[in-house]
Amino acid sequence: MPSIGRNEPCPCGSGKKYKNCHGPIDAEQATAQRKIKQAPDTLLPKLMDALDRFGLELPAALNRFWNGSYHVQDIKELDQHEDRGSERFLTWFAFDAQNEAGQTPVQRLTADPEGLALTDAETQVLSHWSRVRLQPYEVVAVRKGHGLQVRTLFGDELLDLEDHKAAKRVELGEVLITHLVPAGDTQYVAGAAAQLTPDTIAQLHEFAAVHLQDMRRSQPDATYADLIQSRSHIFNHFVMALPREQQEAGKLDELVAMTRAALNVTAEQIGFGSAETERSVPAVASGAPAAADGSSDDVAEIDADNDANVGTGVGDTTQTFETGGLPHPKTSRAEASSVPQYQGQDD
Ligand SMILES: [Zn+2]
């Protein structure tokens, strides 16, 4: 907003002084915008605290997100096994895990916010979060001291990410696998963000194409947007397969090959090794069953209160990405080219 003296004539041409005309209106709008931008800071912890309402769905979600690697009894130790494991899982559970009716906890809390004690700004911001999912973003511009511009890797949507700390440590061409939540005209990181080197992009495309191909067996018109809406857990499987040590560099190729075998999709079917782009995935008629996601009947309660990793304040950009000293002590990994680095709130 251009600064106009309170006693100067209002730019609208009314002839009145600014303070007696549009001044108060502009000030009110600026306050409202500031409240919108700050809302994620307080809204996310409220959502995380409400997750225990959905505890019955936790075991199946845990299994799906971690590809069967962890179970309810492991939940307290997730952080020992995976970088920011509990934060990553609970953020995904809130935004992505769907019940039988296809509704995520965030969607159900949006429809029934009773008990959340939301402010008007929080309610307004939450109304735009129902389609937020875990997905990869390519960094297309870095504005030092301000933030990033990212592009959805499967969608060509350009988004501005306000995060001056991220702008210091993220490089052009890198990939962030994370939840970006909108507030006003900018995006914030919710929870942790995996930072991947640019050489993972080709494998990410191939991996997602295999899954889309599989999805099209039951849903022939499915797009990448549909894949992200209903199967975003695959991106965590991808992160889990990223090499932690130099000698593990083949793990990603292995994952793609294993996924292809499990889903019975060949490279030719998805157009790799040909001139076809990853966007022109042809549908096939063969009906091999998809790899089923198992589930368990165990009941668990989410212990969201005493976990410092829960409800990362995303609006406070100083907390979303930390400065200097990579790798993070918790996320220390070897210098393999595709090593994922988790960025998040420090404890
Ligand atoms: Zn005026």
Average pLDDT over residues 266-276: 47
Q: Which of 63-77, 113-127, 295-309 has the highest mean pLDDT?
A: 113-127
Contact predicate 195/331, CB 8 Å: no
pLDDT of residue 3: 80
Instruction: With a cut of 70, say whether residue 10 has pLDDT above it.
Output: yes
Q: pLDDT by residue (tens digit) across 79-94?
A: 888 888 989 999 999 9
Q: pLDDT by residue (tens digit) across 237-266?
A: 999 988 766 556 677 777 777 777 777 665
Q: Which of 112-126, 153-167, 299-313 has the highest mean pLDDT?
A: 112-126
> What is the spatial distance between Cα 226 and Cα 212, in angstroms, rounded to a whole number?
9
The Å distance, Cα 186 to ligand 1 centre, comes to 28
Instruction: With a cut of 80, say whether residue 69 has pLDDT above it.
Output: yes
Look at 214 and 347; give whichever has higher pLDDT: 214
Place of tokens 């295999």: 210
Contact predicate 173/138, CB 8 Å: yes
Quote the radius of gyration of the chain (alpha carbons, Å): 22
> What is the spatial distance between Cα 1 and Cα 15, in angstroms, rounded to a whole number?
20
The Å distance, Cα 329 to ligand 1 centre, comes to 55
Contact predicate 320/345, CB 8 Å: yes
Instruction: With a cut of 50, say whether residue 20 has pLDDT above it.
Output: yes
The Å distance, Cα 37 to ligand 1 centre, comes to 26
The Å distance, Cα 8 to ligand 1 centre, comes to 11
Residue type, 254: E
pLDDT of residue 325: 27
The pLDDT-based confidence of 340 (bands split at 50, 70, 90) is low
The Å distance, Cα 107 to ligand 1 centre, comes to 41
Instruction: With a cut of 70, say whether residue 296 has pLDDT above it.
Output: no
The Å distance, Cα 62 to ligand 1 centre, comes to 56
The Å distance, Cα 20 to ligand 1 centre, comes to 8
Supply the DSSP symbol for 305.
S
pLDDT of residue 225: 96
Lowest-pLDDT range of 147-151, 164-168, 275-279: 275-279
pLDDT of residue 64: 95
| Residues bordering ligand 1, an ion, CB closer than 5 Å | 10, 12, 14, 21-22
Instruction: With a cut of 80, say whether residue 330 has pLDDT above it.
Output: no
pLDDT of residue 245: 61
Which phi and psi angles does 159 have, rounded to 5°? Answer: -135, 145
The Å distance, Cα 34 to ligand 1 centre, comes to 22
Instruction: With a cut of 80, say whether residue 306 has pLDDT above it.
Output: no
Please give the helix or strand (H or E) that residue 55 lies within, else none.
none
pLDDT of residue 251: 72
3-class DSSP assignment, residue 341: strand
The Å distance, Cα 33 to ligand 1 centre, comes to 20
pTM of the model: 0.74
Instruction: With a cut of 90, say whether residue 272 has pLDDT above it.
Output: no
146 alpha carbon, distance to own chain's centre? 20
> What is the spatial distance between Cα 332 and Cα 311, in angstroms, rounded to a whole number?
23
Q: pLDDT by residue (tens digit) across 105-157?
A: 999 999 999 999 999 999 999 999 999 999 999 999 998 888 899 999 999 89
Instruction: With a cut of 70, say whether residue 279 has pLDDT above it.
Output: no
Cβ-proximal residues to 287 (8 Å cutoff; 6+ apart), any chain: 217
Query: By percentage, how much of the chain surpasses pLDDT 90?
Result: 56
> What stretches of the chain show up as alpha helix (H) in DSSP?
23-49, 58-65, 78-81, 85-95, 105-111, 120-126, 164-169, 201-218, 224-231, 233-241, 251-263, 267-270, 317-320
Q: pLDDT by residue (tens digit) across 176-201?
A: 999 999 999 999 999 989 999 999 99
Contact predicate 64/293, CB 8 Å: yes
Lowest-pLDDT range of 25-29, 115-119, 145-149, 222-226: 145-149
pLDDT of residue 331: 30
